Amino acid sequence: MKIVVLDGYTENPGDISWAPLEALGEVTVYDRTAYEESPLIAERIGNAEIIVINKTPVSRATIDACPNLKAVAVLATGYNVVDYEYAKEKGIPVMNVPVYGTDNVSQFAVSLLLEICSHIGHHSESVHKGEWASSIDWCYWHFPMIEVSGKTAGIIGLGKIGVNTAKILRAMNVKVLAYDAFQTEAGRAVADYVELDELLKRSDFVFLHCPLFPSTQGIINKENIARMKDGAILINNSRGPLVVEQDLADALNSGKLAAAAVDVVSTEPIKADNVLLTARNCIITPHISWATKEARERIMQTTADNIKAFMAGEPVNVVNR
């Protein structure tokens, strides 16, 4: 079986092994191919039967240009880069990795909040620049310190990651509210379900942990920001288009929101003119919530298991049945 990995670098920049895939067939790995439609994609697929992708798009045109293609394995949970409905018409299963990074994404979300509240990175940099050594006082701080304990957090999207984040917050004596169209017992155990308006009105911290659907795209917009507490903090390490970035920048620059931290933006890599780059009190990280070595090893093994199951005639984690 011929397997081509079209954009393997972010999954494996060299610190883990492709051996789980190599055990299944002849594997060709490209670090990067293209993040936009390109003839190079079909050219590199060639006569491969299985392709492995992360963010390289697989369009109808690419599928038509690769008649030997039999399966698509995505090195991620999201699969919107694949024309999966057309793949279904062609009998090509698209397989994803549904669970691999719950702990990391929750860890990162709370880390973003703590960085805003304690400004650890900034003050460490300040000390290394010599400001403490030259200070006349035994300590100093450049920004107000915020105590997390006793505050209220609102989580929009209380799936597995949201529940895990809620558990961490509750351990820090934070009251947790949640808004989700689908309520679960696991969610009720860690949060109080409320309507979106109430969540926005009561929350000191708002976390986005929801998928990107038409109903959630732009859920953080000027109207909903107006409903938020003055001085609230927004955390988004879910999907960039959940936020109307100009509206968020306006809220930060006006002081309506105290701060925001985002690990995702509307277009990635971030564009040089993205309004959040010049907004006040906005931390931006380059979509790395998922990227611990442990999580990437789980992605690799699950992808190999997906391909093995497909080869055995019993595909699993198929998103386009």
Instruction: Kindly state the average pLDDT of the residues 21-46.
Output: 97
* Tens of pLDDT, residues 145-158: 999 999 999 999 99
Share of the chain above pLDDT 90, in %: 98
Please report whether residue 78 resides in a domain. Answer: yes
Give the bridge partners for 61, in sequence order. Answer: none
Which CATH number covers residue 262?
3.40.50.720
Q: Looking up tokens 């304690």, which residue turns up?
A: 118
Residue 285, pLDDT score: 98
* Residues 169, 225: Cα–Cα separation, whole Å: 22
Could you write out the three-class secondary structure of 181-227? Answer: CCCCHHHHCCCEECCHHHHHHHCCEEEECCCCCCCCCCCECHHHHHH
Considering the domain architecture, whether residues 70 and 207 belong to the same structural domain is answered as no
Residue 308, pLDDT score: 98
Instruction: Kindly state the average pLDDT of the residues 253-280.
Output: 98
Burial 216-232, CB ≥16 within 10 A → b, else e: bebbbbeebbeebbeeb
Please report whether residue 318 resides in a domain. Answer: no
Please report whether residue 320 resides in a domain. Answer: no
Residue 226, pLDDT score: 98
Number of structural domains, the chain? 2
Considering the domain architecture, whether residues 187 and 274 belong to the same structural domain is answered as yes
pLDDT band at 164, cuts 50/70/90? very high
Instruction: Kindly state the average pLDDT of the residues 170-183.
Output: 97
Residue 225, pLDDT score: 98
Q: Catalogue the active-site residues.
A: 239, 268, 287
Taking the complete model, does pTM exceed 0.85, yes or no?
yes
* Tens of pLDDT, residues 114-135: 999 999 999 999 999 999 999 9
Distance of CA 245 to the CA centre of its chain: 16
pLDDT band at 162, cuts 50/70/90? very high
Considering the domain architecture, whether residues 61 and 151 belong to the same structural domain is answered as no
Instruction: Kindly state the average pLDDT of the residues 44-69.
Output: 98
Question: Residue 53 sits in which domain range?
Answer: 2-100+293-311
- The residue among 221, 310, 319 whose CA lies nearest residue 266 is 221
- The residue among 68, 94, 42, 6 whose CA lies nearest residue 306 is 94
Considering the domain architecture, whether residues 20 and 69 belong to the same structural domain is answered as yes
Considering the domain architecture, whether residues 124 and 153 belong to the same structural domain is answered as yes
Considering the domain architecture, whether residues 118 and 246 belong to the same structural domain is answered as yes
Instruction: Kindly state the average pLDDT of the residues 225-252.
Output: 98
Instruction: Kindly state the average pLDDT of the residues 101-109.
Output: 96
Residue 275, pLDDT score: 98
Question: Across all residues in the chain, what is the average pLDDT?
Answer: 97
Instruction: Kindly state the average pLDDT of the residues 65-82.
Output: 96
Is residue 35 exposed (0-12), middle (13-18) or buried (19+ Cβ within 10 Å)?
Answer: middle
Considering the domain architecture, whether residues 170 and 262 belong to the same structural domain is answered as yes
175-179 and 71-74 as β-strands: parallel, antiparallel, unpaired?
unpaired
3-state secondary structure of 266: coil
Considering the domain architecture, whether residues 39 and 133 belong to the same structural domain is answered as no
Please report whether residue 141 resides in a domain. Answer: yes
How far is residue 26 from each of residues 18, 30, 97, 186, measured CA to CA in Å? 11, 13, 22, 43
Considering the domain architecture, whether residues 59 and 108 belong to the same structural domain is answered as no
Considering the domain architecture, whether residues 138 and 220 belong to the same structural domain is answered as yes
Considering the domain architecture, whether residues 14 and 142 belong to the same structural domain is answered as no
* Tens of pLDDT, residues 283-317: 999 999 999 999 999 999 999 999 999 999 999 99
Give CA angle at 198 (192, 201), nearest 5°: 120
- The residue among 241, 251, 287, 261 whose CA lies nearest residue 76 is 287
- One-letter amino acid of 149: S
Considering the domain architecture, whether residues 132 and 191 belong to the same structural domain is answered as yes
Residue 87, pLDDT score: 98
